[in-house]
Amino acid sequence: MVPRITHDDDDDAFEQFEPFEGFKKVHSAHITDTQDAEQAHQASDITLLSAKDWRQKVRTRAITYLSRREYSRVELRKKVLLSLRHFDCEDDLGSSIADEVLDDLAQHNWQSDVRVAASVAKVKGERYGNARVKHELKQQGLDSELITEALEQLASTELKRAHDVWLKKFGQSPADLKEKAKQIRFMASRGFGFDVINKVIKNADDLFDDMP
Q: What is the pTM of this model?
A: 0.70
16: left (phi over 0), alpha (psi -120 to 50) or beta: alpha
- Check residue 195 and give its pLDDT: 95
- Check residue 206 and give its pLDDT: 59
Looking at the DSSP assignment, which residues form a beta bridge with residue 89?
49
Range among 5-14, 47-56, 203-212 with highest mean pLDDT value: 47-56
pLDDT in tens, 21-37: 443 444 454 555 555 54
Where does the chain have alpha helices with state H? 7-14, 18-44, 51-66, 73-83, 94-107, 113-125, 130-139, 144-155, 158-169, 177-189, 194-202, 204-210
- Check residue 91 and give its pLDDT: 77
* pLDDT at 85 exceeding the cut of 70: yes
CA distances in angstroms from 106 to 57, 110, 160, listed in the order given: 17, 6, 35
Residue 186: other Cβ atoms inside 10 A = 15
pLDDT band at 13 (very low <50, low <70, confident <90, very high): very low
- Check residue 179 and give its pLDDT: 95
Domains and CATH numbers, the chain: 47-111 (no CATH), 113-156 (1.10.10), 157-212 (no CATH)
Of 86 and 19, more confident? 86
Average pLDDT over residues 36-57: 74
